[in-house]
A and B are shown apart, each in its own frame.
Chain A
């Protein structure tokens, strides 16, 4: 095979891997097996800087001279940018060393847990995002003309809520070890996560055993309804419209859409063109103030999505009571009570906090459907 032919083969292999890799939107552990780790050295052939995960393509020369093309998968470009990285931190021709878990399906893909530029011995594309800096002295809660806390932008400079202190859901006090995607450290802990009905526990275990590979939020870009919209790393924006007595919730993760919480005293029924029976991804939310806490009651969810990271099941009997408070300028406290007699034996609660990211709009991130 001459040089030109070799180049064509490499380009073709790279393009094929690129197509396969670009369609990979997933929890990391769903695709990569941390029990099968790999170290490799190679020469960068390209950097694919786009949703949902960035990739570096590498030619690895094996003993005997054979060249293998590998795809090194990285975090999303949003998270990489937050950590200060641009697409050109590596260029074609650079030598790199990569460590990380390999793809469960045996393809030549590795999660770039640690990527080091050989020439400088400098680690690149690592996510070291500390989040927004928080003033030492808490800033006071901003308030509107009615004296109630403003849950969104207070000074016109932009901003949104992100960096949740928890990205997983479990009943208060459970303290079950799991990773940020909600994959349990020990499957035996599953019954402690929530008061499951037997079928719901079985389904939760099944999803866990499959490393959440069937998550429709990733596979089909199903909406992050329920509590999940407040677990996404890409944030959420709350826009209060007192004149129209409603709050717009703009979701930065998932498929980047919005829904409305009504505060005009309307019923939870019939909010969508009078169609009382049409269940929705975000349900029907109505809200009122209790002191400085906004209490949102939501029913009418459909069953087409996962309502939280980690694969806890729900049914169309799910109702949520969410309590939002802003104890200081930079903190949103989120508390939720989950009542789903279709999947759980009793109501249960959880909660976490989100941090204010001031002066910015929601990052641009779009889910990509893996199955179409």
Chain B
């Protein structure tokens, strides 16, 4: 059910974004990112990441509407466009799951740029990839 909800939320977001147009020439992380954190047995393989930039800090949410994991830490290093994100959620038993996502922005100049790297948590680890929508 969680995956179904996530897919519905993602599809709705994509439809809205497509209608609104998605060019974005400001902060490279700002926007909606859709992708996979492969092998995530707790929160599923699909991930929806909403990121924003307030001028001083990167804020955001993982899987809004379903898992609602707010970012607890986020950074972007322009030298190599290295992305570091941290978030905390809960598994189905209510236990804390602390995530760390590390990757690099590729195709920085494109509206549909991507972040490729890895994710890890106290429950597992795997490959992470997401594309800006």
| Among B24-32, B63-71, B95-103, the stretch in contact with A | B24-32
Chain B residue numbers with a CB within 8 Å of A214 are 109-110
Chain A CB within 8 A of B21 CB: yes
Within 8 A of B (CB), among A197-256: 198-199, 201-203, 206-207, 210, 213-214, 216, 220, 222
A-B CB pair tally, cutoff 8 Å: 55
Asked whether A315 lies within 8 Å of B78 as measured between CB atoms, the reply is no
Once the chains are docked, how many angstroms separate the CA of A320 from the CA of B28?
22
Once the chains are docked, how many angstroms separate the CA of A214 from the CA of B81?
18
Residue B79 contacts which of A202, A220, A314, A316 (CB distance < 8 angstroms)?
Answer: A202
Asked whether B21 lies within 8 Å of A341 as measured between CB atoms, the reply is no
| Among A51-59, A85-93, A298-306, the stretch in contact with B | A298-306
Asked whether A317 lies within 8 Å of B76 as measured between CB atoms, the reply is no
Chain B CB within 8 A of A283 CB: no
Residue A206 contacts which of B26, B30, B55, B108 (CB distance < 8 angstroms)?
Answer: B108
B117 to chain A, nearest CB (A): 18
Chain B CB within 8 A of A327 CB: no
Chain A CB within 8 A of B8 CB: no
Asked whether A303 lies within 8 Å of B26 as measured between CB atoms, the reply is yes
Asked whether A304 lies within 8 Å of B78 as measured between CB atoms, the reply is no
**Chain B 96-133: CB-based contact to A (< 8 A → 1; otherwise 0):** 00000000000011100000000000000000000000
Chain A residue numbers with a CB within 8 Å of B55 are 315, 317, 341-342
Chain B CB within 8 A of A46 CB: no
Chain A CB within 8 A of B23 CB: yes
Within 8 A of B (CB), among A316-350: 316-317, 341-343
Chain B residue numbers with a CB within 8 Å of A305 are 23, 25
Closest A residue to B109 by beta carbon equals A214
Chain A residue numbers with a CB within 8 Å of B109 are 206-207, 210, 213-214
Asked whether A304 lies within 8 Å of B108 as measured between CB atoms, the reply is no
Chain A residue numbers with a CB within 8 Å of B76 are 199
Closest B residue to A220 by beta carbon equals B23
Asked whether B26 lies within 8 Å of A315 as measured between CB atoms, the reply is yes
Asked whether A304 lies within 8 Å of B27 as measured between CB atoms, the reply is no
Asked whether B25 lies within 8 Å of A304 as measured between CB atoms, the reply is yes
Closest A residue to B80 by beta carbon equals A202
Asked whether A201 lies within 8 Å of B78 as measured between CB atoms, the reply is yes
With A203-B108, A206-B109, A210-B109 in contact, is A314–B26 under 8 Å at CB? Answer: yes
Chain B CB within 8 A of A310 CB: no
Chain A residue numbers with a CB within 8 Å of B79 are 202
Chain A residue numbers with a CB within 8 Å of B30 are 303, 315
Once the chains are docked, how many angstroms separate the CA of A216 from the CA of B28?
15
B59 to chain A, nearest CB (A): 13
Chain B CB within 8 A of A313 CB: yes
Once the chains are docked, how many angstroms separate the CA of A305 from the CA of B43?
36
Once the chains are docked, how many angstroms separate the CA of A54 from the CA of B109?
28
Asked whether A216 lies within 8 Å of B26 as measured between CB atoms, the reply is no
Once the chains are docked, how many angstroms separate the CA of A61 from the CA of B28?
48
Closest B residue to A197 by beta carbon equals B55
Within 8 A of B (CB), among A338-371: 341-343
Once the chains are docked, how many angstroms separate the CA of A343 from the CA of B28?
11
B75 to chain A, nearest CB (A): 10
Chain B residue numbers with a CB within 8 Å of A316 are 26
Chain A residue numbers with a CB within 8 Å of B28 are 199, 203
B91 to chain A, nearest CB (A): 34
Once the chains are docked, how many angstroms separate the CA of A304 from the CA of B22?
8
Q: List 9 A-B contacts (CB under 8 A).
A: A199-B28, A201-B78, A202-B79, A214-B109, A220-B23, A303-B26, A305-B23, A314-B25, A316-B26
A residues at B contact (CB < 8 Å)? 198-199, 201-203, 206-207, 210, 213-214, 216, 220, 222, 303-306, 313-317, 341-343
Q: A203-B28, A342-B54 are in contact. List 17 more A-B contacts (CB 8 A).
A: A199-B27, A199-B28, A210-B109, A214-B109, A220-B23, A303-B23, A303-B25, A304-B21, A304-B23, A313-B26, A315-B26, A316-B26, A317-B55, A342-B26, A342-B27, A342-B55, A343-B26
6 closest Cβ contacts across the A-B interface?
A202-B78, A303-B26, A214-B109, A304-B23, A342-B55, A315-B26
